[in-house]
Amino acid sequence: GTAYIDGAFVPMSEAKISVLDWGFLHSDATYDVVHVWKGRFFRLDSHIERFLRSADRLRLTLPVSPGELARILAECVARSGFQDAYVEMVLTRGASPTFSRDLRDARHQLICFAIPFGWILRPEQREAGLSIVLSDIRRIPPDSVDPTVKNYHWLDFVMGLYDAYDRGAQSAVLTDAGGNLAEGPGFNIFTVRQGRIATPDRGVLRGVTRQTAIALAAELGFPLEERLVAAAEALAADEVFVTSTAGGIMPVTRINAAAVGAGRMGPVTRALLEAYWARHD
């Protein structure tokens, strides 16, 4: 892969940050991930828009214009030579050249990179679907900022993933203090019951793929509600699917080792998944 760091393009192995960077020491950073499919970005504008909004909320200043950022991302992809790529943009607080603890002295650092596509669920595993656990680990969105700011506060997700591995599953969905569904490490969740789709609307990232799934549901005529979704609804659902840039629309066929509905990809998930990938041609 290829990275852009300190204003230059370098091979991934040469992309290095200071250990004094607040992004590394305090997760003081924001990021976004966009995918390139068959040589083309998918919804780049939405990702750059969210990145700029997140940066603004965290009082981070992008050292380049949005147009320049788009050109840097495209050049990372071009130099990497990948047709399908996972492209990340990162903005960290950086470090102060004088070791000052006054955050205003830090030099904000933009890092971009293109690497091979990192799937949550590989295309050949789609029919089998994901096996997840509903974890008791609480999702702790950084409310002091804004839960919809894309952030690296992932310790809850990491604990959730180990909970999943320990229980023989691939991934986890975390719940909030009220026992409602939140989200998983890198994806939003949807339930389907008697043809009606529901997805949590509080304390979760506004996923670009989530928005795409909502738009596709409207186009295909599936009723959909954005609301609090109790964890029990996932257990009683006919279908469950998750959405992410890192995989698109992905069926969940097992929760807590039990089959979801018939235990295979359901018709609503299939219709949305096919419509999603049709947009990539």
How many other β-carbons are positioned within 10 Å of the β-carbon of residue 226? 15
How many other β-carbons are positioned within 10 Å of the β-carbon of residue 122? 10
Give the nearer residue to ligand PDD in terms of CB position, either 128 or 140.
140
How far is 2 from 10, CA to CA, in rounded Å? Answer: 6
Give the nearer residue to ligand PDD in terms of CB position, either 54 or 245.
245
Q: Is 244 in the site for ligand PDD (CB under 6 A)?
A: yes
Give the nearer residue to ligand PDD in terms of CB position, either 60 or 208.
208
Give the nearer residue to ligand PDD in terms of CB position, either 109 or 243.
243
**Count of residues interacting with ligand PDD (CB under 6 A):** 14
List the interface residues with ligand PDD, window 165-224 (CB under 6 A). 183, 186-188, 205, 207-210
Site for ligand PDD (CB under 6 A): which residue of 54, 245, 253, 269?
245
Q: Which long-range contacts (CB under 8 A, 24 or more apart) does 118-126 make?
A: 118/86, 118/246, 119/246, 119/247, 120/171, 120/186, 120/187, 120/242, 120/244, 120/246, 120/247, 120/250, 121/170, 121/247, 121/250, 126/250, 126/251, 126/265, 126/273
Q: Is 156 in the site for ligand PDD (CB under 6 A)?
A: no
Site for ligand PDD (CB under 6 A): which residue of 243, 252, 265, 266?
243
Footprint of ligand PDD on this chain (CB under 6 A)?
33, 183, 186-188, 205, 207-210, 243-246
